[in-house]
Amino acid sequence: MIDPAVAIAHAFRQEDITMLQRVLRATGLKPRPWDSYARFEYKSVWNAVAPTEDKAKLAVSGTLDKVEHQRSAEQTLEWLQRHVGIHPDDVIVDIGAGFGRVGELVAPLCKRWIGTDVSENMIAVIKQRLADHKNVEAIATNGFDLSPIATASADMVYCTTVFMHLDEWERYNYIVEGFRILKPGGRMIVDNISLASDQGWNIFIEHTRIPPAQRPPSISKMSTPQEIAIYFQRAGFKRINQAELGPMIITYGVKP
């Protein structure tokens, strides 16, 4: 994630408005600048920012600090366990798995972990980093659905620090797809930066100062809690709940 929201989405430290410029300089993409793509060209955008493992890590977290990667992954693991649970016999699907930051901790706790990502480059990094985990599968998607995954085949689906980079239609469709691939009684949980939080609002205001033609395709877009709750309701989920974690709004529900 390559904008000032990275610091908040992963570390919940004070927003760093220079993050965008630093990471853009670090990626040094050629011949077509990644920020010349349209936002909906998810596959092109995220392949472009992840030509190597280090650049994939920068794109996802804004840092190469292994301690920070571990800390943020442990924080995500904690709220997954608290709100939806992770069971030894679970088949778990990660939407937008990146370089396997969270999957590295989740995979040992479940029967099967399936990491999906729109970027084949990210998928290659997952396969290399998590090669010792025999219950791991990494699948490249088209950026709009989970069509490679069978209906009613998963026990839990999660999506963390991804919705900020998607348009609203894709956010909803991934929740619909999560519902489809879950077994009855399966759980889904997602997060996004909350527009209702002070930090989320500050990011929003900072982004209004970027000229429209200069906004990068992955620039973060906040959600209101109501937006994500409505998507869960319309998709068919029951027992829908929400929780705040710093500037993030976490939404989760159960497939009847």
Angle between helices 168-181 and 225-235 (to 10 degrees): 40
Identify whether the C-beta of residue 24 lies closer than 8 Å to the C-beta of residue 66: no
Let me know the angle formed at the C-alpha of 246 by 12 and 164, rounded to the nearest 5 degrees.
75
CATH number for the domain whose boundaries are 73-254: 3.40.50.150
pLDDT tens-digit map of 216-236: 888 899 999 999 999 999 999
First to last CA, the chain: 33
Q: Tell me, what's the pLDDT at 233? A: 98
Q: Tell me, what's the pLDDT at 78? A: 97
Average pLDDT, the chain: 88
Dig out the tokens for 105 from the structure: 């901790």
Phi, psi at 123, each rounded to 5°? -60, -40
Say whether pLDDT at 197 is over 90: yes
Q: Tell me, what's the pLDDT at 34? A: 55
Segments making up each domain of the chain, as ranges: 73-254
d(Cα 206, Cα 15) in Å, to the nearest integer?
10
> Among 4-18, 181-195, 214-228, 236-250, where is mean pLDDT lowest?
4-18
pLDDT tens-digit map of 13-50: 333 334 444 444 555 544 456 567 889 999 988 998 89
Q: Tell me, what's the pLDDT at 60? A: 85
Q: Tell me, what's the pLDDT at 32? A: 55
Q: From residue 53, give the alpha-carbon distance in Å to each of 28, 59, 98, 99, 124.
A: 14, 10, 10, 8, 9
Dig out the tokens for 26 from the structure: 């670090």
